[in-house]
Amino acid sequence: MDFIYSRYNISDDEKKKERILEIIPGALSWSIIIGVCALSFIKPILAAVIMVSFILYWVLRLIYMNIFLVISYMRLTIEKDTDWMKRIEEIDEIEANINKLCRKSVSRGIKNRISNFIHYKQLYNLKKSGQFPVKSENIYHIVIIPVIKEKKYVVEPGILGIKKGKYQPSRIMIVIAAEESATNDVKEDMEKLREGYKKDFLDIMIVRHPNNIAGEAAVKGANTTFAAKYASRYLKERNIPYENVIVSCFDADTVPKSDYFSCLTYHYMINPRRTAVSFQPIPVYHNNILDVPGFARIIDIGTSFFQLIEATNPRKLVTFSSHSMSFKALVGIGYWPSDMISDDSAIFGKPLYTMTVIIKQCPYILLSQWI
């Protein structure tokens, strides 16, 4: 199913209703600010009570947020040394000997005990559901990297990071989604990357997105959708089932850690509803933190903390920036919106209209590095 996600093709009445609904949040915010200021002249004591209550609310809110920041950091600390490839092998063996797997694990240290407790609890849930995944050797990854003006030095670190990762690059396909309007220098750089790394991966493809396609806007979602449709034909030609493929959409400057794809594969396999779940890494913004102004560092650190806090509540999460999901789910919901800027978040809402099962968010606890 495909549909127009933005306001381009809606009627004038619908545009007016949408605009009214857009005004309400801002109008309420300004009403509160102006109302408190006016109240301070009319009823100063009441205004003071309101301000003190508001400050007290934010103090309690900060305490609440810091508790979950600590919880998220502890989980990261617990899982940072996890051997995800070993756990993938254990999932491959789950049907035959789950009880044996649990008995043979003798953990040392509180961190390992907690990590293994979570792991074996998930194994039992998977066993109970009966929704076993295919063997890990039959699972493939597609990584889509949209490019319009990024040069080789921007894109190459991410490709090199994938190559050096612990997951076999021979089961990973890189799709460089280049805009037709990109300069010749960018196109030549992408060809050099393809020739330099093609032998290391399942394949590296360069898909050129044509300009001015009807119904599309000049946005990243149009480019990645065109590339994903091209990749779907590649999979069909090789008889690779969509449910055996995990697709990840990266920004051009995303550099994944070495455990990224093994961790993603583990969480995909261990989840009984793997084709109806989106997977969100926790992005942090520290890779070039010493090279940016002080004010930008404060924003980067604050944003990283916020991402850690949000990851503790999957019910509130939506897809953001680099994210992953089953290729079967991506095809089922009609790919990314091709007519709006915020495609990475908007795609989370598309299942509400296109699927009987809503895609849920699964934050897998692994940091990704950003340039």
Q: What pLDDT, on a 0 to 100 scale, did the predictor assign at position 360? A: 47
pLDDT tens digits, 55-82: 999 999 999 989 988 888 888 887 777 8
Q: What pLDDT, on a 0 to 100 scale, did the predictor assign at position 3? A: 52
| Whole-prediction pTM | 0.80
Rounded Cα gap, residues 227 and 296, in angstroms: 33
Q: What is the mean pLDDT of residues 349-364?
A: 52
Specify whether the backbone of 212 is left (phi greater than 0), alpha (psi in -120 to 50) or beta. left
Does 314 have pLDDT greater than 80?
A: no
Tokens 């089961």 sit on residue:
171
Rounded Cα gap, residues 344 and 363, in angstroms: 15
Rounded Cα gap, residues 366 and 76, in angstroms: 7
In angstroms, what is the C-alpha Rg of the chain? 23
Which domains occur in the chain, in start order? 12-76 (no CATH), 82-129 (no CATH), 138-370 (3.90.550.10)
The torsion defined by the Cα of 33, 36, 38 and 39, in degrees rounded to 10, comes to 170
Q: CA nearest 287: which of 253, 251, 338?
A: 253
Tokens 């900060």 sit on residue:
62
Pairing mode, if any, of strands 360-370 and 140-147? unpaired
Q: CA nearest 319: which of 238, 218, 244, 221?
A: 221
Rounded Cα gap, residues 139 and 133, in angstroms: 9
Q: What pLDDT, on a 0 to 100 scale, did the predictor assign at position 356? A: 41
pLDDT tens digits, 192-235: 999 988 899 998 999 998 887 777 777 888 889 999 999 999 99
pLDDT tens digits, 266-283: 989 988 888 888 888 777
Q: Which tokens in the block code for residue 227?
A: 């590339």
Q: What pLDDT, on a 0 to 100 scale, did the predictor assign at position 104? A: 55
Q: Which tokens in the block code for residue 50?
A: 């309101």
Q: CA nearest 144: which of 182, 193, 191, 177?
A: 177
Residue 10's H or E segment, with its range, is none
**DSSP 8-state symbol, 310:** H
